[in-house]
Structure 1
């Protein structure tokens, strides 16, 4: 498909400078009709300005949608059932939002008869891969337009010059160099680039938006209780909450106690290392609480196998393979384990820490009559003799053979 073959394109549109430039560039370079799609996934910004700017740029079909509940229910919660972290620490706040946005881009393309989609991800990052793998998985014949891989607007000065030449408003703070790039949703905020590119330099405290510093957090700990049903949190301190409301509440609780900051050098899928700073307050609580409720409800081998599968599952999400058969296969196995993950976890929040102080479940496998150090009538300690000797048999034989 050539430029002249594209009749209509759906653009993932934030209303910011970069995507506004992309919008005009698509109109000029491809001579096609543009449909804009702006998703509310909890980034905390007013979205109506995006509509007004799209209208100003001549757009007739404008989609602005609140996807917060779908985002948490169908993407964040399933991911947390696996206790997912990429490279041991990253909670994948940006990664998990991309398949939802990509899915809606394709659905809107189908609804409007568009033959292409477009995004503002750069040619150096992971997001281009995530958007496009999603698109091809759901609509194999779709045309994907990635301007950053086509145009020569490869500097901030060139972008601003293009905007001024095409009557695109440039916010005053965009005339200078931004200290970092930021991506926000209900799950987290990520900060990358510019001032953060040197991994030795500590980020400025005034950068953070969701959390106070642990030093500035309250001197008194706060106790909370989270109720789980089938592996998902459903109530905080006895109050039932929807998925989006749950994450919002946990963000608030964690944020005021300085919980959820992460400074990470990670391995991008495209091959380079990058330094990112993340705020994931509610997600940090959810990870700790979920592991705590699983500790008394999952069988040992079931729990250990989940932990073995998790890095592969995390890698699939990070690399953009949410709609792959292998991710769906792993999800089915993970979800099967969650049928008995029910109960309540009690946590103490204090100066950047989430501390588990209690857990209980109607499906608990924890038996006090078996684990007690006092006298019991259910466990014969003599049985350990045979257990140990059988497990030691191969070690003894190996030693005898080697001499």
Structure 2
């Protein structure tokens, strides 16, 4: 029949949820399942996912484990960093920015193997279902999407475990009980939410943190680091040229050691509810501070201020899953144009959870010591010019002040009639 699914590509981690989904798809849709596991730098061994998929009947040629770390940082993280994007002024979008890449690769695999559907393990309460599916539909408008969490009756961790045991699905020992919180990780960040984190008044337990040392336990001596930029992208750390993924990994190591990048956030999900999460983005926090610092030298005031107006809109588009939308691409074109002269170096001091800019320099700098100096500027700036500038800008304020000081009541529209 027309709705028959023959082959589906599943975003597969090898964990409890997606392993149950794999078996559930085989049973409920009677289809062949192709698994796709993305290495985005989450720091986990991914080969066990291959063995587990084979054990569950997936053909070896239909098990895809792809190293996407360089593409992730180069084509997704770096463009976002050029925009200085922060969702709700704080969140560096570590989970959000990974989803369009996973969706892209899933669709590529679906075309390669002739699949007529894709599937994911996102729940019906979260943002990820939206991000994955908007990506799928943007890249393959007629693709069939299967979202098990919106279809099945396995509504609790205990039911998932019961299903797994009934179908001889191996379960990690730490999943044989209720996990204290859920996590998502990639090269940019680790996020944690749920259960022990659901009370926004309760302090995040120290055992939740995995990417950063406690700032209180960080070294008592600050560390200086220099980040070099070309056209708005970081290209070197302390003089060593690095690939995008290697550079972010280096900054992650520095940030981890100094307890940098922790964020406790209550955010507004796209689906309507508020949620509390804990984010660790060590390298991204350093990179964000460094990029803003080099822009301080190299961007014209008008361009810089316009970028600051666009950034919240850009961040919201990524958070809500609209990476492949024309409006995001339009914003990206404007942002990338602004970065043509964003070259130079930024020196930062890392100390007990803080990132402090202590120096910046650029061959494209718009900063002029000759103009700004408090000493004799040798005629570079005529201070008398300021009088006319001020009077022109004050004209409307003076007219308003004179009118209001006269005591005359403004004439109402009713009175005019």
- Equivalents in 2 of 1:170, 1:301: separation in Å? 56
Deviations 1:178-234 (A, max 9, x none): 000000000000000010000111111122111001110000000011100000000
Q: Could you tell me which residue of structure 2 aligns to residue 36 of structure 1?
A: 35
Write the deviation string for residues 61-106 of structure 1: whole angstroms up to 9, x where unpaired: 1000000000000000000001110000000000000000000011
Q: In 2, Cα distance between the equivalents of 1:125 and 1:207?
A: 20
1:378 aligned residue (364, 377, 380):
380
**Match of residue 412 from structure 2:** none
Deviations 1:97-152 (A, max 9, x none): 00000000111001110000000000000000000000000000000000000000
Provide the TM-score with structure 1 as the length reference: 0.99
Alignment correspondent of 1:361: 362
Matches within 5 A, 1:23-172: 23-60=22-59, 61-172=62-173
Q: State the 1:171 CA deviation.
A: 1.8
Residue matched to 1:252 = 253
Give the equivalent residue in structure 2 for 1:339. Answer: 340
Offset of 1:397 from its aligned partner? 1.4
**How many angstroms apart in 1 are the aligned matches of 2:264 and 2:49?**
31
Larger radius of gyration between Structure 1 and Structure 2: 2
Query: What are the superposed Cα offsets for residues 15-61 of structure 1, whole Å, 9 maximum, x if unpaired?
Result: 00100000000000000010000000000000000000000000011
CA deviation map 1:235-267 (0-9, x unaligned): 000000000000000000011001000000000
Cα-to-partner distance string for 1:291-310 (whole Å, 9 max, x where unaligned): 00000000001000000000
How many angstroms apart in 2 are the aligned matches of 1:401 and 1:317?
48
Cα distance in 1 for residues equivalent to 2:242 and 2:102: 24
Residue 399 of structure 1: how far off its partner (Å): 2.2
Distance 2:146 2:26 in 1: 12
Deviations 1:268-325 (A, max 9, x none): 0000000000000000000100000000000001000000000000000000000000
Q: Give the aligned partner of residue 390 of structure 2.
A: 388
SS in 1 for 2:366: coil
Which sections of structure 2, spanning at least 5 residues, go unmatched? 407-417
Give me the whole-angstrom Cα distance separating, in 1, the residues matched to 2:212 and 2:184: 15
Cα drift, residue 172 of structure 1: 1.9
1:210 maps onto 2:211 in alignment: yes
Root mean square deviation, CA, Å: 0.8
Report the secondary structure of 2:357's partner residue.
Answer: strand
What is the distance in 2 between the residues matched to 1:298 and 1:349? Answer: 25
Q: Which residue number in structure 2 is paired with residue 288 of structure 1? A: 289
Post-superposition, which runs of at least 4 consecutive aligned residues in structure 1 deviate over 3 A? none
- Corresponding position of 1:7: 6
CA distance in 2, matches of 1:396, 1:29: 75
Aligned residues: 402
> After superposition, what is the alpha-carbon deviation per residue over 1:156-195, rounded to whole angstroms, capped at 9, x for unaligned?
1111111011110122221211000000000000000010
Rounded Cα–Cα distance in structure 1 between residues aligned with 2:175 and 2:94: 25
CA deviation vs aligned residue, 1:327-380 (integer Å, no higher than 9, x gap):
000000000000100000000000001000000000000000000000112100
Q: Distance in 1 between matches of 2:395 and 2:40?
A: 57
Counterpart residue number, 1:398? 400
Aligned-partner Cα distance in 1 for 2:350–2:118? 44
Structure 2 CA distance for aligned equivalents of residues 398 and 102 of structure 1: 56
For 1:315 and 1:172, locate their aligned partners in 2 and report how far apart those are by CA, in whole Å. Answer: 38
TM-score, scaled to structure 2: 0.96
Give, in whole Å, the separation in 1 of the partners of 2:173 and 2:293: 48
Cα distance in structure 1, aligned partners of 2:305 and 2:103: 33
Distance in 1 of aligned mates of 2:11 and 2:84:
30
Q: CA deviation at 1:401?
A: 2.8
Secondary structure (helix, strand or coil) at the match of 2:75 reads helix
